[in-house]
């Protein structure tokens, strides 16, 4: 059964996206002369002389050995035995419906960059488009492809962001995000922009807002928890599901540490947890805290008793070991004894 290839297309912040795309867009050396000949007459921005336009033109005029009918012939190694990610959808009248699956399809083929030249990949995509669609739908898909390549080209041309000296700067990230949004608005109409980037922009907004909340020293742990929960609830349902567990765990760890350092009031800890994960989960965490505290008390008591046995000079070392084993077996079950023995070693 063919395995499905899932691209790492999770939403990322502007900083990560721009850094990654600058690397992605580097072209194999053997293609530089081919594209240079096509771009030589289009050096000005006013004449839309982008690398993307040149590559589209190259794919249309190339007389090279690589010709495609379906776009799936002789796939590069990384795409072999995989299902095509993404695809096209038509309405009842045969019009192309713009969805994020189109972007996923483009990314699926473009992920082979490095194994194949970019003009060859675009040839594949154009063949796939015309083998799958016809008429106006095919023409619109080609226009979306050119816009997407142009978008990547524009992003790659942005100046690399400066490395922050004192950690991540939300203000700088917001400025970079605004640059990306401006590029997208210039390359795509509102429908395509929303279909291709809405989820990514929602996640970026959440990430930056979350960072600002965590860096706001005027907020208590309870206030931070409440604001973080509100931000999560603003995300699309599918995105909430994908990030909930890891972000809540991270936030609980961070806010619990803040509570320990600045508060220590059990009631405030309970309120912080309720604000972040809800009352039922907060009660489970409180019960877990109690169980851990009881366990720690048992362990501490045992380690003191064990230390007293070891300090007894009136019995032999062998008798000490036998006495320790007997008392340990009395105080702990078999599973607990495994943990206790590890703690005994760590106590030295």
Select from 147, 125, 180, 138 the least CA-distant residue to 53: 147
- The mean-pLDDT minimum among 4-8, 164-168, 195-199, 324-328 falls in 4-8
Say how far apart CA 265 and CA 248 lie, in whole Å.
21
Least confident of 4-18, 70-84, 314-328: 4-18
What pLDDT score was predicted for residue 62?
53
User: What mean pLDDT is predicted for residues 28-33?
Assistant: 38
Q: What is the pLDDT of residue 257?
A: 77
Alpha-carbon span 230 to 275, nearest angstrom: 9
Residue 27 has pLDDT above 50, yes or no: no
d(CA 180, CA 196): 13
Of residues 267 and 317, which shows the higher confidence score? 317
Of 157-161, 201-205, 310-314, the poorest mean pLDDT is in 157-161
Please give the pLDDT value at position 135. 93
Q: Give the CA distances from residue 88 to residues 35, 103, 189, in Å, rounded to whole numbers and listed in that order.
A: 29, 10, 18
- 86 conformational bin, left if phi > 0, alpha if psi -120 to 50, beta if neither: left
| pLDDT at res. 126 | 94
Give pLDDT, residue 105.
94
Position 47 pLDDT exceeds 60: no
For the chain, the maximum distance between any two Cα atoms, rounded to a whole number of angstroms, is 98
Q: CB–CB of 87/99 below 8 Å?
A: no
- Helices 135-156 and 118-132: crossing angle in degrees, nearest 10, is 150
Percentage of the chain lying above the pLDDT 70 cut: 75
* Residue 2: predicted pLDDT: 42
Residue with the larger pLDDT of the pair 158 and 134: 134
Token readout for 2 is: 């063919």
6 pLDDT band (50/70/90 cuts)? very low
Distance of CA 283 to the CA centre of its chain: 30
Q: Are 122 and 102 in contact (CB under 8 A)?
A: no
- Length of the chain counted residue by residue: 348
Dist. CA 95–CA 131, nearest whole Å: 16
The mean of the pLDDT values for the chain is 77
Q: How confident is the model at residue 314 (pLDDT cuts 50, 70, 90)?
A: confident
CB 275, CB 226: distance < 8 Å: yes
The pLDDT assigned to 145 comes to 95
- Taking the C-alpha atoms of residue 107 and residue 196, their distance in angstroms, rounded to an integer, is 11
Residue 270 has what pLDDT?
A: 80
Where is average pLDDT lowest: 49-53, 134-138, 151-155, 276-280? 49-53
Helix residue spans in 234-278 (DSSP H): 237-262, 266-277
Q: Assign 259 a pLDDT band (cuts: 50, 70, 90).
A: confident
Res 226: pLDDT: 84
Q: Each residue of 250-287: b (16+ CB within 10 Å) or e?
A: ebbeebbebbeeeeeeeeebbbbbbbbbeeeebeebee
Spatial neighbors of 142 by CB under 8 A, at least 6 apart, are 56, 126, 129
Query: Alpha-carbon Rg of the chain, whole angstroms?
Result: 30
Q: What pLDDT is stored for residue 194 in this prediction?
A: 93
| Whole-angstrom distance, CA of residue 71 vs CA of residue 74 | 9
Q: How far apart are CA 59 and CA 185, in angstroms?
A: 26
Antiparallel, parallel or unpaired: β 82-83 and 3-4: parallel
Name the percent of the chain lying above pLDDT 90.
Answer: 30
In this predicted structure, which of 15-19, 112-116, 156-160, 245-249 has the lowest mean pLDDT? 15-19
CA atoms of 235 and 90, how far apart (whole Å): 28
Nearest one of 69, 144, 135, 72 to 106, comparing CA atoms: 144
Task: Give the pLDDT band of residue 212 (cuts 50, 70, 90).
Answer: confident
């Amino acid at each position: 059964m063919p395995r499905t290839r899932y691209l790492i297309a999770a939403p990322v912040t502007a900083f990560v996206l721009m850094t990654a795309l600058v690397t992605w867009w580097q072209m194999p050396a053997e293609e530089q002369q081919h594209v240079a000949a096509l771009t030589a007459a289009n050096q000005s921005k006013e004449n839309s002389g982008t690398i993307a336009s040149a590559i589209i033109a190259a794919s249309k005029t190339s007389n090279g050995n690589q010709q495609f009918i379906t776009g799936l012939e002789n796939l590069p190694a990384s795409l072999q035995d995989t299902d095509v990610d993404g695809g096209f959808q038509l309405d009842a009248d045969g019009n192309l419906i713009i969805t994020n699956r189109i972007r996923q399809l483009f990314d699926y083929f473009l992920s082979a960059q490095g194994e194949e030249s970019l003009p060859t990949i675009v040839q594949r995509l154009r063949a796939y488009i015309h083998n799958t669609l016809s008429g106006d739908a095919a023409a619109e898909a080609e226009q979306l492809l050119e816009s997407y390549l142009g978008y990547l080209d524009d992003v790659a041309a942005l100046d690399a962001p400066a490395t922050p000296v004192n950690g991540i700067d939300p203000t700088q990230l917001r400025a970079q995000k605004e640059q990306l949004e401006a590029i997208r608005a210039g390359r795509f109409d509102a429908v395509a922009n929303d279909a291709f980037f809405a989820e990514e922009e929602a996640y970026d907004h959440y990430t930056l807002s979350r960072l600002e909340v965590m860096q706001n020293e005027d907020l208590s742990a309870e206030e931070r928890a409440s604001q973080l929960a509100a931000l999560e609830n603003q995300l699309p349902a599918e995105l909430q599901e994908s990030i909930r567990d890891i972000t809540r765990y991270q936030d609980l760890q961070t806010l619990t540490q803040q509570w320990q350092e600045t508060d220590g009031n059990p009631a405030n800890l309970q309120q912080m947890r309720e604000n972040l994960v809800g009352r039922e989960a907060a009660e489970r965490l409180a019960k877990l805290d109690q169980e851990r505290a009881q366990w720690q008390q048992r362990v501490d008591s045992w380690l003191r008793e064990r230390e007293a046995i070891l300090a007894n000079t009136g019995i032999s070392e062998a008798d000490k070991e036998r006495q320790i084993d007997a008392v340990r077996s009395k105080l702990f079950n078999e599973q607990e004894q495994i943990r206790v023995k590890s703690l005994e070693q760590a106590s030295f």
